[in-house]
Amino acid sequence: MNIELNTHSKNIINWAKAHPEAVVLSADLGSSCEIKEFKNIFPERYFSLGIAEQNMVSWAAGLAKEGFRPFLHTFGVFLYRRVLDQLEMSVAYPNLPVTFVGFLPGIMTPGGVSHQAINDVATLRAVPNMTIFDIGDATEIEGVLGLAHEVNGPVFIRMLRKEVPRLFPADKPMEFNRARILSSGTDIALFSSSICTEEAMRATAALKRKGISIQHLHISTIRPFSDPAVVEALEKVKYGAVTIENHLTTGGLGTAVAEVIAEHGLGTRLTKLGIQDTYAHGASKMHLLRKYGLDALTLARTIEAQVGKTCGIEEPDLEELRAEDYTAV
């Protein structure tokens, strides 16, 4: 498994070469959001709006009305929490093609509570006309701009930066509103997103060795959420479903799966892993993954408990499957 570096930076430059209508708006965090090189190559298409996100969002609406495709770059928290009214009234209501490229989803920052976007999916799932993409690997970074372009409306991307693993083949790009089936099984339906998918892949590999079979779906389109593969997965398993997300367990992927279960009358037992009704704090990714139960070991033990079978999986069983060095801050 390869670790890719600064994939978004390279990708958006290539994208912009073919799409002259694409412009970047930045709120003073461009160098932290892999858009510094874009500024060097396309200085006339890079607009600094300063630490003033509310104006930036409505300004982008004006540009979009004139036929431009604005890509807003800053940390995710500042692109929904600080600007929700602007996002809704200036952009989402008129269904304008503005793309919010939100970095540092969930616990992907030691920057603490002010910088951790832990309820962005919950908030934006309740915004009509929005599309939400939750990036899981480098291949998805390479594919997401094309999908956002096709959506032709407001899009929020939970973007990953710097060192990002390539979990999925480069020639198998992400598809709109389509889950990626990573393993097939009949014991547990497992739904994962963002950085939790790598954790989930490690857990499913270890559990498979112990005889537990898992239908594992990676979810990168979280709004809309209507892929029939989700229902098919829920219908084929004996011991219910587990979700794991880099987000609160309220309103995000777990809730979306719960809604599917209820709306289809499936009655599936569901365990939701993620941040449990609390704000987080600043620390390393590995520390936060473990503290809030977003890691492979917590997932493996949750699945063991739900199946009713203790396999004795321990950290070393999972460590050998790790792709990224999460101990690096």
Partner 1 sequence: MSIYETNEVRVAAKNIRKTILGLAINRGGAYLGQACSCADILAALYLRVLNFGPSLGAPQAMPFPGAPSPANMDYQKGAAYHGAPDKDRDRLFVSPAHYASVVYCALAEAGRISHEAIEKFNVDGWNMEMIGAEHSPGFECTAGSLGQTVSIAAGTAHGRRLKGESGRVFVFLSDGELQSGQAWEAFQAASFYRLENLIAYVDVNGLQVEGYTKDVMDISPLEKRLEAFGWKALVIDGHNEAEIVRAAETLHPGQPMIVLCHTSSACGVPLLEKRMPFLHFVGIGSEEIEVFKKFHADM
Positions that interact with partner 1 (CB under 8 A): 47, 49-50, 52, 54-55, 57-63, 65-68, 85-86, 89-90, 93-95, 128-129, 152-153
* C-beta closer to partner 1: residue 131 or 268: 131
* Cβ–Cβ < 8 Å for 154, 96: yes
* C-beta closer to partner 1: residue 96 or 294: 96
Place of tokens 């540092």: 104
Q: What angle do CA 222, 169, 256 make, to 5 degrees?
A: 15
* Cβ–Cβ < 8 Å for 81, 53: no
* C-beta closer to partner 1: residue 59 or 156: 59
Query: d(Cα 314, Cα 329) in Å, to the nearest integer?
Result: 24
* C-beta closer to partner 1: residue 63 or 283: 63
Using CB atoms within 10 Å of the CB of residue 174, give its burial: 0 to 12 exposed, 13 to 18 middle, 19+ buried: buried
- The 10 Å CB-count burial string (b at 16+, else e) for 33-53 is bbbeebbeebeebbbebeeeb
> What is the closest distance, in whole angstroms, from the C-beta atom of residue 86 to partner 1 in the complex?
6
> What is the closest distance, in whole angstroms, from the C-beta atom of residue 53 to partner 1 in the complex?
9
> What is the closest distance, in whole angstroms, from the C-beta atom of residue 82 to partner 1 in the complex?
11
* C-beta closer to partner 1: residue 66 or 320: 66
> What is the closest distance, in whole angstroms, from the C-beta atom of residue 65 to partner 1 in the complex?
6
What DSSP string describes 255-288?
A: HHHHHHHHHTT----EEEEEE-SS---S--HHHH
> What is the closest distance, in whole angstroms, from the C-beta atom of residue 23 to partner 1 in the complex?
8
